[in-house]
A and B are shown apart, each in its own frame.
Chain A
Amino acid sequence: MKLTLKIWRQENATAKGSMHTYSIDDVSPDMSFLEMMDVLNEQLMQQGVDPVAFDHDCREGICGACSMFINGEPHGPDRLVTTCQLHMRKFKDGDTIHIEPFRAKPFPVIKDLVVDRSAFDRIQHAGGFVSVNTSGNTQDANAIPIEKTNADKAFDAAACIGCGACVASCKNASAMLFVSAKVSQYALLPQGQVEATDRVLNMVKQMDEEGFGNCTNTGACEVECPKGISLENIARMNREYLSAKVSG
């Protein structure tokens, strides 16, 4: 396939940045989107042009690193995939593809398509954990009975890979789906109850300080999430938060 790629190039964090157009031939439909970018970069380097910088790691949909906004959607037109799982057979010969970084004020661009998502790490540090004394008195986790529906919902919430597609697709650049997934995975389990109040208050406070937007329940995040995280988690976090504000 022959493709025209319009890609955001930005030299560094303070540069202005703009869209550049490149042409690429011989794209196999079996290639993943990132493999296509690798081919583009080899071509660019041979031409003496700086290769396009982009994030990637596992290249199989589990690490959350790859993050391209493709033709107006995070991770492109396919559903329940990350950019590395998007394959070129989803495009046609002669297509033009627009590629931009995940945009949000709290995700400053580092270079080209690479953004700094440490805001998510800071939110996690604020409360996305349970405190356990692990030295010498480990308890068997299976000794604590947990209702299966809750265990399943907690597992589903824990599937969040922190890629930021929710923020990128949200018209308000809100991080509610991410934060609510991280809060829910503990809120549904007995181990999470001990620190539930502090957790939700601190994580939401950090989320607000980072400058993410307000949730207006459009549901774009749930549609675009590569792991299919549910909007139910946002409602759950709203409840947890209100209850923590009232009781805490």
Chain B
Amino acid sequence: MKKLKMTRNMRRNLYGLLFLSPFFIGFIMFFLIPIIRTVFYSFQSVSVGANGGMEFTASGFKNYVNLFKSEVTTDSKTLTELFANQNMNMLTSVPLITVFSLFMALLANRQFRGRAFVRMIFFLPIILGLPLVTDMLAMTTGSELTETGGGLFSESFVSVLLLNYTGIPLRVLTPIMGYVDNIFDLISHAGVQTLIYLTALQSISPSLYEVARIEGATAYETFWKVTIPSIMHIILFVVVYTIVELFLESQIAEEVYSFAFEQNKIGIGSALSVVYILNVLFVLIVVVLILGKVARRYE
């Protein structure tokens, strides 16, 4: 009996390994080898050899030094600026997206007539927020028609009223309007996050809300004491997803392509890739450590 059970387990493991094998092979071919090579290239100066192949000569940290000292991006900014901007952008964008997509999911979760239609529009950003689509929908001309340029809020009637009929100086108004514009922009990028939140909200047991109601909790208390603790781990997932997504859409990826293929600097492009990876992982580790602590206190 024991022998039979063992062989059955072993057969099961063997099949399991068979199912996993595509991923393991892929991991070696498309992840491990590329990542090792990227690190390797980043320490080499790469040139084209006599027979068309690539030739490598070790150059130590030269690529990294050049990357931050002499190289510039396609819009002629320094790489230090590029990374600083990207990380500063994360600081505002990630909290905004996390909070606003939760807010939209809470709205979509309410009972009202026409809910199906509203949901259809709320998830449209899954398509309209695709990087290719947002790039192509952006206007390249016409911003001279509006003074502050682009943006839903700054083009709106309200902002015209604010600009022309209130005494608030332009110096104060412009950054505020830019900020509000940014929010509208972010909402339309948060389709997947809203979807994840909505499903999380729907999986909270109704009996929890019933208990809260019987105990006489206000809507405000219910939100902080029932809803938030129940979806805490999902908030963490959304934060991680958003960080990964924002880094993927960032300009850094395009710069790698430009260095490697338009300027033929494979070493520099690889060095940039390595810094890019380290940057993402560092941000993720910090965020997960901090949020993990907060989440544990809540649960």
A and B: partners? no
B residues in contact (CB < 8 Å) with A = none
